[in-house]
Amino acid sequence: MFNKVILIGRLGQNAEAKTTQNNKEYVVLNIATQESWKNDKGDYENRTEWHRVYAWSNLSKFAKTLHKGQLVTLEGTLRYREVEDEVNGTTFKHRIAEVHATSVKRLSKIEAADDPSDGAGDE
């Protein structure tokens, strides 16, 4: 069995650094990917998908240097978790998909002269 995700997309916002209750550092990235196709009338249509990506431990150090609009590629695993939301006093349970990154690379240029390592292979 195999669980691997490969994405190439742009950050929709700056990386968001967080800490768990156990003081473990991680970063949340919101990555947009886009696909386009021709419809039956011959016109192009586009669809943007948003992916919530988590970078942990050493990889989070690199990930928190990423900024909105930058093009990145990443590899990771797909995980699901149950969440509960309350709407007008009614609780709804649903599953959300998350990508847990094992490597992240910046594909677009950065303005800063001091580029940290790209985080490939860090975990």
Which parts of the chain have pLDDT scores under 50? 112-118, 120-123
> Residue 98 and residue 37: Cα distance in Å, rounded?
26
Region at 12 (left for phi over 0; alpha for psi -120 to 50; beta for the rest): alpha
> Residue 116 and residue 63: Cα distance in Å, rounded?
10
Residue 15 domain flag: yes
Tell me if the pTM is above 0.75.
yes
Residue 112 domain flag: no
In this predicted structure, what is the pLDDT of residue 113?
40
In this predicted structure, what is the pLDDT of residue 57?
87
Residue 123 domain flag: no
DSSP readout, 23-49?
A: --EEEEEEEEEEEEEE-TTS-EEEEEE
In this predicted structure, what is the pLDDT of residue 109?
76
Residue 114 domain flag: no
DSSP readout, 75-109?
A: EEEEEEEEEEEEETTEEEEEEEEEEEEEEEEE-S-
Backbone angles phi, psi at 16, to 5 degrees: -115, 105
> Residue 26 and residue 5: Cα distance in Å, rounded?
19
Residue 44 domain flag: yes
Q: What is the dihedral of CA 52, 60, 33, 4, to 10 degrees?
A: -80
In this predicted structure, what is the pLDDT of residue 121?
47
Residue 111 domain flag: no
Query: How many independent structural domains does the chain possess?
Result: 1
Number of residues in the chain: 123
Residue 59 domain flag: yes
pLDDT digits (tens, 9 = 90+) for 32-55: 999 999 999 999 999 999 999 999
Residue 116 domain flag: no
CATH label of the domain that carries residue 51: 2.40.50.140
Q: Residue 90 corresponds to which tokens in the numbers above?
A: 């009614």
Range of the domain at 13: 5-106
